[in-house]
Amino acid sequence: MVSVFFLLGVIGYLFYQRNASMMGSEMRFKMLYQARMIETKLMMAEKYTEGNLSKETLSKIRPQWFKIGFFNDDHLPLYSEISKPPRFNEEFYSHNDRCYTVIPYSSSDPQVKYIVLREDVLKKNLALLKQRIIYYLIVLFLCMAVVGYFLSKLFLRPVREKIEALDRFIEDTTHELNTPVSAILMTVQNLKGIEPKKLNRLKASAQRLSTMYDTLSYSLNQKVSNSKQERFDFGVLLQERVETMRTFAESKRITIQYTLTSYLVYTDKESMCRVIDNILSNAIKYSDPESEVTVDLQDSLLTICDTGIGISKQEQQDIFKRYHRFNKERGGFGIGLSIVMKICKESNIMISIDSEKGKGSCFSLNLSSIALHK
């Protein structure tokens, strides 16, 4: 619609310029024609008065549509309905949005040397033309906008139906995953007689599957604005989530080191779980084996850092976009960080990233907006 508006504006401007030029040319022809007619009438009046052109005689020689003035050789008016014109050396010109025609008069009369005509309607006609063009362009733009709206709805209907069907499929699939995921977690916790290494691997896989389910479920069903606000210790919650992720980290031979302090907040606890889990899960997924992930909570600042593959400056602009995956080998669905950004925006939590390709990443969250003020 912006392109259509710009195109219509260009067309309107060119149409106005063309018509304004035509109106100016037409006015020039009319004024010069009237001036020559006045010149002829003046010559006839001069014959009838035997060269004695009085002011009264000059006042009777008037054009139909224009103001007139008769001036002597010193540019002084003999009879004039207009003020002194600015120039006498041009046959036709525009001044102060008015057009003037000046023709020299040569006769035996020693007084009248210039016949001057002035029009007062061209400016008004141009303004009226401009108003009409703008009016028609607005009407045309609105008509095109209405037509474009219905055409876009018609053309996009199959796409919208496919998206809605896909959303319903994902929602139904996520709902059906709840039972098997819960069963797997309970089974793994009750397994006995299995090698610790294999058991830890099963626990890590089950935990990762549970985290993915929670993320999908939250993305489909939760809204931070309507979430349950409660008072809790963010440091305690952070420790719980770190311990939950530890099995997953150990399966990749990654160590999690954390330094936590007590920090009381008032917000939705489930949303904060999703923020911690997604950032911490990404730190583990994108870290190399035998590396370390550090979690630090000091006052209102939470930092989660890794020494993994890192993120380039160009990729940092897109990592919070939905379904964006900058590493298809290690990445998930591409919705985790988009959920993190959504929660942070709605909770007024400032989030920033400091990363360099090949040297790891560090996510920082300022929690002062959700702090519990005494």
- Going from N- to C-terminal start, the domains of the chain cover 2-125, 223-370
Class of domain 2-125: alpha beta
Most confident stretch, 98-102, 169-173, 370-374: 98-102
Digit-coded pLDDT (tens) for 36-83: 888 888 888 877 776 677 788 888 888 878 899 888 888 888 888 887
pLDDT at 112: 84
Digit-coded pLDDT (tens) for 222-280: 544 456 788 999 999 999 989 888 878 888 888 999 898 899 999 988 889 889 988 99
Name the one residue in this structure whose structure tokens are 């290690």.
Answer: 330
In what helix (H) or strand (E) does residue 92 lie, and over which residues does it extend?
Answer: strand 92-95
Digit-coded pLDDT (tens) for 299-348: 889 999 998 888 888 777 778 776 655 555 555 556 778 888 888 998 89
> Which pTM does this prediction carry?
0.50
Which of these ranges, 99-113, 200-214, 216-230, 250-264, has the smallest mean pLDDT?
216-230
Mean pLDDT of 206-210: 70
Residue 297: pLDDT band by 50, 70, 90 thresholds? very high
| Closest C-alpha to 295, from 247, 371, 365, 345 | 365
CATH architecture observed for domain 223-370: 2-Layer Sandwich (3.30)
Q: At 295, is the secondary structure helix, strand, or coil?
A: strand
pLDDT at 328: 53
pLDDT at 51: 63
pLDDT at 349: 92
Fold matches, 2-125 and 223-370: no
Other Cβ atoms closer than 10 A to 174: 20
Check: CB of residue 71 under 8 Å from CB of residue 87: no
Cβ-defined contacts of 350-353 (< 8 Å, 24+):
353/311, 353/316, 353/319
pLDDT at 234: 93
What does the block give as tokens for 276? Answer: 């911690």
Q: What percent of the chain has pLDDT over 70?
A: 81
Check: CB of residue 119 under 8 Å from CB of residue 98: yes
